[in-house]
Amino acid sequence: MAVAAKILRSELDQKAWDAVCDVPDPEVPVLTIEDLGVLRDVHVQADGAVQVTITPTYTGCPAMSMFAFDIEAALLTAGFKRVDVKTILTPAWTTDWLSEKAREKLRVYGIAPPNGKASHRALFGEEQVRCPKCSSANTSRISEFGSTACKALYRCSDCYEPFDYFKCI
Amino acid sequence: MEDTALFTYCMRLADDSAILSQRLAEWCGHASHLEEDIALTNIALDLIGHARELYTRAGQIEGKGRDEDALCFHRVEREFNNLLLVEQPNDDFAYAIMRQFLFSAFMHPFWEAVMNSKDEQLAGLAAKAEKEAAYHLRHSAEWVIRLGDGTEESHNRINDALEFLWMYTGEMFECDDIVSSLVARDVAIDPMSIRHLWDETVNTVLARANLERPAETWMQTGGRKGEHSEHLGHILSPMQYLQRSFPQAQW
C-alpha cells in the first residue's frame, strides 16, 4: 500500500494522487490501486501533464491496460489535460504491500488475504489458509491457480464454502 | 545496433516464453477439468507477460522501431530462436505436464540467478518472473508425481513423455559465444552454474513419482540457431494469423 502515499508531495501532486488513488481493481473491486500498491507515483510536470507510475501484480496481468484507461479517465475528469501512464517492474510487486485495512476488505469480500510475509517457499508444502466465511483453518487447496493470476482456489472443509485465496508473493 | 549479444539473448528468452505460452493456450477449453484449464492458461498468461517485456526490450536495443508485435508476429520460423523443448506438441496431457516441469525446473533457478544481472531491466523482470516460475514448477511437479505414482495407465503415459522429451533438455544448458560474452559482463548467467539445481529438482520429483531418470543420451540441438522441428511452423500459423492478415492491428 501506501508506501508511496506517505511521501510528502506538492499540493498539485496530491490533488492528482487523490483523483486516481480510488481507481478500483477491475477483478477485485473492493481494492483500489492504492490499497494494492499498484500505484507507485503521481507527478504533475511543469507543462501540466500528469505522469502516473504503476507496477503490475503479475507480469502478464491483463488488468494493466484497464488500470491505465481508468487512471486517465479519472485525471481528465478531475480537470487535468494530459496524462502519461508509465509501467515499471522494479521494485517487484509483493503482497507485503497490502495494508491490514486492505486485507480486512478482502476477507469481508470473501477472499482469504495473503498469509504472512512473502518469502522463499519450498517446492512442496501446503499453506495454512483460513476460510474467509467461518474462519476455520480446516481448508484444502483445489487449485494453485484461480480466477485471476493473483489468486488460488481453496475449499473450506467445515462450512464447505469454496473460496479464493490471494496468493502470497 | 549497439548490443547485438543482449538483443539476441532477450529474443531467445522471449521466444521460449512466447512459444510455450502458445502451446499452453491450446489447452484453453480442452483441459481435463475447469481448474486445470484455468491453471494452464494462467501459466500461459505469465509467460506472455515475460515475452512482452523481453520483446519490447529487444526492440529498444535494436533501435529499428520494431515493437513487441513486430518481433513476435512478423518473423518466420528460421528467425525464431526458442528451445526445441517448448515447441513440442501437446500430444497428451502428460506431455504438456512433463514439458512444463522440465522447463520450469530450469527457469525457476534461472530467474533467481538473473536477479543479480548487471542489466537493471533484466534483473527487474527476473525478480517478478522468479515468483511466478515458482508456481509453475510446483504445479507441474505435483502433476508429475500424481501421474507417475497414479494408475498403470497414467504412469506409462508420463513415462513416455519423460523418455521422449529428455533429448530436448540438453539445449537448456548450452552456452555459446553470445551467452559467454554476456556472462563476462555479469549480464547473463552460465546455464551450467544452475545445472546442479535442475538435477536436484528433477531427481527428487522423479523419485517421488516412481519414475526412472532416463540414461544420458544424444541431445537434440538447433533451436538457438533457428533450426526447428516440424512443429514450429504449425504453431506460428495460427499464432501469427491475425497480424499477418491485418498488419499493425491493435487491441
Residue B38's φ and ψ, nearest 5 degrees, are: -70, -40
User: Could you say which DSSP state residue A115 is in?
Assistant: P
Q: All 3 cell numbers of residue A45? A: 510536470
Q: Which of B36, B48, B127 is closest, CB to CB, to A60? A: B48
**DSSP-assigned beta bridge partners for residue A50:** A44, A83
The tens place of each residue's pLDDT in chain B, 251 residues long, gives: 789 999 999 999 999 999 999 999 999 999 988 999 999 999 999 999 999 999 999 999 999 999 999 999 999 999 999 999 999 999 899 999 999 999 999 999 999 999 999 999 999 999 999 999 999 999 999 999 999 999 999 999 999 999 999 999 999 999 999 999 999 999 999 999 999 999 999 999 999 999 999 999 999 999 999 999 999 999 999 999 999 999 888 76
User: How many angstroms separate the CA of residue B120 from the nearest CA in chain A?
Assistant: 9
Q: What is the ipTM of this complex?
A: 0.83
Q: Is the pTM above the cut of 0.95?
A: no
Q: Which of B128, B132, B138 is closest, CB to CB, to A89? A: B128
Determine the residue type at A158.
D
User: How many angstroms separate the CA of residue B46 from the nearest CA in chain A?
Assistant: 5
Residue B120's φ and ψ, nearest 5 degrees, are: -60, -40
Residues from chain B contacting residue A58 (CB–CB below 8 Å):
45-46, 49, 128, 132
- Distance, in Å, from the CA atom of B239 to the CA atom of A65, rounded to the nearest integer, reads 22
Residue of A nearest to B54 (CA): A59
- Distance, in Å, from the CA atom of B176 to the CA atom of B179, rounded to the nearest integer, reads 5
- Distance, in Å, from the CA atom of B227 to the CA atom of B81, rounded to the nearest integer, reads 8
Residues from chain B contacting residue A92 (CB–CB below 8 Å):
124, 127-128, 131
Determine the residue type at B129.
A
Please count the CA atoms within 13 angstroms of the CA of B183 that sit on its side-chain side: 13
